[in-house]
Structures are given as C-alpha cells and as structure tokens.
C-alpha cells in the first residue's frame, strides 16, 4: 500500500499538462469526486495496524501535493493563455473607419427653407399633429360640406368626448393658433408633418412634410407676397423668374399656384417640368378677411398673405428622385447620397 502511495506521488510530481483539457484530466484523476486517493483512503482498513499511522500521514501528504500541483499547473496554463491573447491583440493597428451619418434630404431642404425665411424676419412656429376641427378647417373658412373634410382626404380620430379630431391635413392649423395668440405684425413659418388619406404612389404619400408661411400686418399687399416668394425662389432654387396662376383655397382670396421657371436645357429638365420648363412649387394667397375675423384680427386694419409647400416634392425635384416613397424607406444606401450645408 505504501508503495502505491509513493507511485502516485511520483506520478503527481512528474505530471505535465499543455492545455485545459489535460489539466481537467489531472483534476479528475487526483482531486475529482471519484479520485484515486479516495480509493486508497477506502483501503485504509486493510492496512496492518502498525502501518496505519504512517499510511495516513503519507496519504494526507499526497492529497496536499496533488492540490498544490493542480494550482501550479493551472497558473502555468492561465499565463500561457494570457500571452496568446496578448499576441493576437495588436494595439497599434489602425481602427475600422466609422461612417459619418448624413441628414435626411427632407431635413436638409426644411432647414434651408427655414434659414432663408429667418433672414427676412420670419419666426418658426409649431403646433399639434392631432388637431381639432376648428384649427384645421372651420377657422380657415372651410364650409361644412367642403370635400377636403371628406373621409377620403382626412384621417379622422374617434375620441370619447365626441369632439371632432383629425390628423392635421396642413400646417395652416398652426397659423390659426399663432393668429389667435399673437397680435400683428406676424411673420412666421410653420414646418411640420401633415397627413392625408391618399393612395400611396411615386408622387403622393399619406404622411408628408410642409412648410407654410404667414405674414399679417397693416397694409400687406399682393405685391409684398410676390416679392417674398420671388426672393425665396432666387435663394432656394437660384431662379429669378416666377409666375402665378389663379387657384382656389378656402382661406385665401385671391389664391394662386406659384411656378418657378426651371429651364429646358437638359433631358432631365424636360422630364421634371413635363416639357414646359415650369415647376410648380407652392400655393399662396391673401388671407381671407373671414379667417382674420375668426382669429380676432380686424380685417379693416390688417391684411396678410400665406403660402404653403410640400417638402418631399421639392426635395425630389432638387435631387432628381423620381419616387418620393424612397424618402420613407430609410435605406441607408439611398440616404447617404445627400449632402447639404444644413
Ligand atoms: N394649406 C395649403 C395646402 O396644404 C397650402 C396653402 C397655404 C395655400 C397657404 C395657400 C396659402 O395645400
């Protein structure tokens, strides 16, 4: 029996491991729940009495030796592992390049428009996207039976109070709020999201962005409106020639559609202007006296003009995008092509 202990002791002494699996084998053999030292302890009863003391001591020594050996083997393997990681980790290697994000084309266009109007004293106003009937329609002189109120154009919202609420169909609603809350002179633009219940196609979306503008003061005339719009066309499109075509909006009288002369130099110009050279950019008009009255502004003292444009359309024209649905898909390959100063 003592020979057996000496044999195991030598085995422990000489044991060497080169990886974690071999270390585990050592642990199972000498320290595991069914290790061979335990077997020797079990054989204790067969040892002659006079040898029992020595056998016991030697077994305890063997047990200690095995544990110490295990600890030292483990330390060696751990070091080996650490040095491998250090070799693989090259701190001097240059990093992977990080792509810089780009602004969304609609945001670029919006910021540019805002900046252009800020330069001539317009402030920015915002309002809720869920609007009541008064701000979106009634105050703006929409008759009860006006087709724009129809279910086909407007997303109405059921609410428990029985109030008639809707997703705003234009940001003219914000202008009503400004006129209700401020006294003239008022010079403001309202950028924001608007919603219309329309079939989604390459040319129309059911959610899009607008910038609308409003100027109310004493003696504001149609000529002032023309000047401001011409200034905008020059700053934004770099074009000086505009024209106005008679149109209709319930909240302006007279009303007009504004076209900018884009030119017919390239094939793209033909496509974009449908062969006419003119590009429609916005609607505008002199604020209807009824609308001023609805907002407690005296139409005998004050007059004003308003205009409104859709940003997706303008961004599509500017960047030559032929399907405005791309603006909503958020495909990074599409979005990262646009660079703007804003
Ligand atoms: N609110 C109109 C629209 O959404 C645009 C507009 C604004 C027209 C102001 C005239 C004056 O189409």
DSSP string, 61-113: HHHHHHHHHHHHHHHHHHHHHHHHHHHH--TTSPPPPPPPP---HHHHHHHHH
DSSP string, 263-278: ---SHHHHHHTTTSSE
pLDDT per residue as tens digits for the range 310-322: 999 999 988 889 8
CB 192, CB 171: distance < 8 Å: yes
Q: How far is the CA of 309 from the centre of ligand 1 (A)?
A: 7
Looking at residue 82, what is its pLDDT?
Answer: 67
Mutate to test the pocket of ligand 1, among 174, 229, 251, 258 (most ligand atoms within 8 A of CB): 251
Looking at residue 84, what is its pLDDT?
Answer: 63
* pTM for this predicted structure: 0.71
Q: Which atom of ligand 1 is nearest to the CA of 309?
A: 5
Q: What domains sit in the chain, N to C, each tagged with a CATH number? A: 2-87 (no CATH), 105-323 (3.30.930.10)
Residue nearest to ligand 1 atom 2, measured at CA: 308
pLDDT under 50: residue ranges of the chain: none
Residue 5 to residue 40: CA distance in whole angstroms: 8
Q: How far is the CA of 170 from the centre of ligand 1 (A)?
A: 7
Looking at residue 94, what is its pLDDT?
Answer: 87
Q: Is the CB of 215 under 6 A from ligand 1?
A: no
pLDDT per residue as tens digits for the range 252-265: 999 999 999 999 99
């Amino acid at each position: 029996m003592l020979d057996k202990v000496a044999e195991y002791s030598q085995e422990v002494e000489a044991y060497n491991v080169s990886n974690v699996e071999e270390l585990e084998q050592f642990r199972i053999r000498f320290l595991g729940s069914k290790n061979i030292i335990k077997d020797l302890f079990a054989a204790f009863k067969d040892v002659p009495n006079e040898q029992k003391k020595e056998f016991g001591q030697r077994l305890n020594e063997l047990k200690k030796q095995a544990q110490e050996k295990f600890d030292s083997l483990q330390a060696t393997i751990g070091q080996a592992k650490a040095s491998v990681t250090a070799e693989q980790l090259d701190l001097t290697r240059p990093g992977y390049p990080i792509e810089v994000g780009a602004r969304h084309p609609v945001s670029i266009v919006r910021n540019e428009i805002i900046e252009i109007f800020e330069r001539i004293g317009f402030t920015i106003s915002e309002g809720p996207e869920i609007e009541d009937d008064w701000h979106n329609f009634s105050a703006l002189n929409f008759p009860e039976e006006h087709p724009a109120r129809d279910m086909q154009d407007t997303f109405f919202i059921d609410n428990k109070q029985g109030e008639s609420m809707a997703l705003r169909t234009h940001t003219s609603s914000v202008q009503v709020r400004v006129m209700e809350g401020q006294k003239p002179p008022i010079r403001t633009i309202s950028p924001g999201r608007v919603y219309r219940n329309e079939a989604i196609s390459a040319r129309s979306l059911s959610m899009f962005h607008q910038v609308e503008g409003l100027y109310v003061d004493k003696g504001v005339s149609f000529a002032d409106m023309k000047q401001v719009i011409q200034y905008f066309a020059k700053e934004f499109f770099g074009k000086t020639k505009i024209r106005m075509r008679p149109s209709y909006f319930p909240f302006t009288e007279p009303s007009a559609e504004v076209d900018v002369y884009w030119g017919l130099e390239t094939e793209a110009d033909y496509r974009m202007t449908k062969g006419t050279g003119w590009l429609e950019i916005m609607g505008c008009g002199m604020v209807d006296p009824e609308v001023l009255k609805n907002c407690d502004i005296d139409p005998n003292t004050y007059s004003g003009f308003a205009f409104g444009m859709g940003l997706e359309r303008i961004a599509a024209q500017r960047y030559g995008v032929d399907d405005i649905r791309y603006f909503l898909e958020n495909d990074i390959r599409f979005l990262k092509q646009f660079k703007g100063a804003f």
